Each structure stands twice: as C-alpha cells, then as structure tokens.
Amino acid sequence: MKMNRRHAMAMSAGAVVFAATGLSSTRALATAEDVDKAMMQLGGGKMPEAGKVTLTAPEIAENGNTVPISVEVDSAMSDGDMVSSVTIYAEGNPNPDVVTFNFSAMSGTATASTRMRLAKTQNVVAVAKMADGSTYMDKKEVKVTIGGCGG
Amino acid sequence: MASKPRVKVPKTASAGEVITIKTLISHNMESGQRKDKEGNLIPRKIINKFTAEFNGQPVFSADMHGAVSANPYMEFTAKVQESGTFKFAWVDDDGSVYEADANIEVS
C-alpha cells in the first residue's frame, strides 16, 4: 500500500489523541450496541434498513468540537410518503444521542444540517423514521484529530 | 448567555417554492461532560429544543442533546404557499425561550 504523507499524519495524530483520552478519561463512552438498541426502539423492535437516507459528514474532522453534518431523505414529503423525523446518533460519544430533526408537510423536503461534537473517531448514524413507522439508516465514519467533549 | 439569534430567510419566493432557512444562535451549549479546574463536573446547560413555525403551523423542529456544537446552527427547508411570518424559538435548559421572526413575500 502506498502511504502518502497526509495519511500518515492523520494516523499518527489519531493515535496520539487516542492515547491522551485513554489516560485522562474515566467516563464511559457509548458503544455501537447502545446505538443499535436506540435504533431498535425507534424502529419499534425492528432494525432500520439501509437506504433512502443520506448522511453527509466529513471523512476527517480536524476539530471534533464542530463537525458539520447534513441529512437528506429521498421522499416526496406529501400524503403517503412522509418523513416524520431523522435522528442522529454517535457511536463513540459519552451519550449516543445527538439531535432529532422533526419534519412536517410544510418542510417541503426532508433535509437538515447542523454542527455536532465528536469525542473521537467514530461512526455517525442517521435514522429516518417515515410516517408509516418504517425506518431507514445511513452510517459514516468520521476520523477526529482533536476530540470535542472537553475533559 | 445566549445572544440575539440570527436567521436567514429569503425575502421573496413564488408560491409552492421550497426555500432554505438558516439559523444561528450564540450559546455555549455546556455539555455536562466538562470539568472545572477543581475537577467538578460543570452542569449541563444547553438549548434542548428549536422550533420553526409559519403562520402558526409547525414547519420544523429539532430536539438537541449535549453533542450539538456551541452556537447551534440549523439549516432546513420550508415550502411556502402564501405570504406570512416565520417564528423561531429556542428553549434553554433553564427554561428561557429566545425568539426571532422573519417575514416572506410570496407571489
């Protein structure tokens, strides 16, 4: 594998952050299982299917304090094809909940953007809940160089 | 703590158009995870709810947790059929509500 400089830098910086948080942090972080559990609950006992929802997040976030994310759900947003909400989870933050966007017929489209905190490199998950109760998900890994949850 | 919210809504639109709204409010969104110099946990104090309505009808809302960045930014869309007023509200953990509004002319 060809190792370019940028890649090497990102990896070593990541390792440093990991070591630092490992030493200073005593709090428990959320796990992928916590997010799975929350998704099961949201889906009424069923895991969300992949598709329909697109989560956009940077591949590498230099500063975990403010990571721009946006979601877009493929939906007509009219009778019979409505998105009621999109919930964002973070698998490696102290608390997996990030934000829930609630849409209405007046939203026009099911799109929203905000900025979030990430404690370390982790997966960010977006789950769309349709008006009929079905759920869909998308997942992106974001590499974080400086964690954003204080300490 | 929180200062005057800023909202960006187009001044005009055609009926049925889907417009993009951007909002920003200054707030340090204390996550409840940080410690002060003595090692005591700083209590959580964030804006936990944002709502947008148009002529009294709910358009969009967001339930926020500690993982939303300081100075929370929200971008979303609205489909407008008639002229009217958007009302935005941010609810703080301490119960304070910060408000803003914006008018739009729809032809």
Is B54 within 8 Å of A107 when comparing Cβ atoms?
no
Q: Which of A55, A70, A79 is nearest to A130 (CA)?
A: A79
Q: What is the pTM of this model?
A: 0.85
List b or e across A126-137, with b for residues whose CB sees 16 or more CB atoms inside 10 angstroms: bbbbbbeeebbb
pLDDT digits (tens, 9 = 90+) for A79-138: 889 999 999 999 999 999 999 999 999 999 999 999 999 999 999 999 999 999 999 999
Q: What residues of chain B have any CB closer than 8 angstroms to a CB in chain A? A: 18-19, 31, 33-35, 54, 57-70, 72-79
Q: Provide the shortest C-alpha distance from residue A96 to chain B (in Å).
A: 8
**Amino acid sitting at position B107:** S
Nearest-CA distance B13 → chain A (Å): 14
pLDDT tens per residue across span A2-47: 556 665 555 555 454 444 444 444 457 888 899 999 999 998 889 9
Q: Do B59 and A104 touch (CB under 8 A)?
A: yes
Distance (Å) from the alpha carbon of A77 to chain B's nearest alpha carbon: 10
| Residues forming beta bridges with residue A146, ordered by sequence position | A63
Residue found under tokens 């796990």: A31
Please tell me the distance from the alpha carbon of residue B70 to that of residue B1, in angstroms, as a whole number: 12
What is the distance of C-alpha A4 from the center of its chain? 28
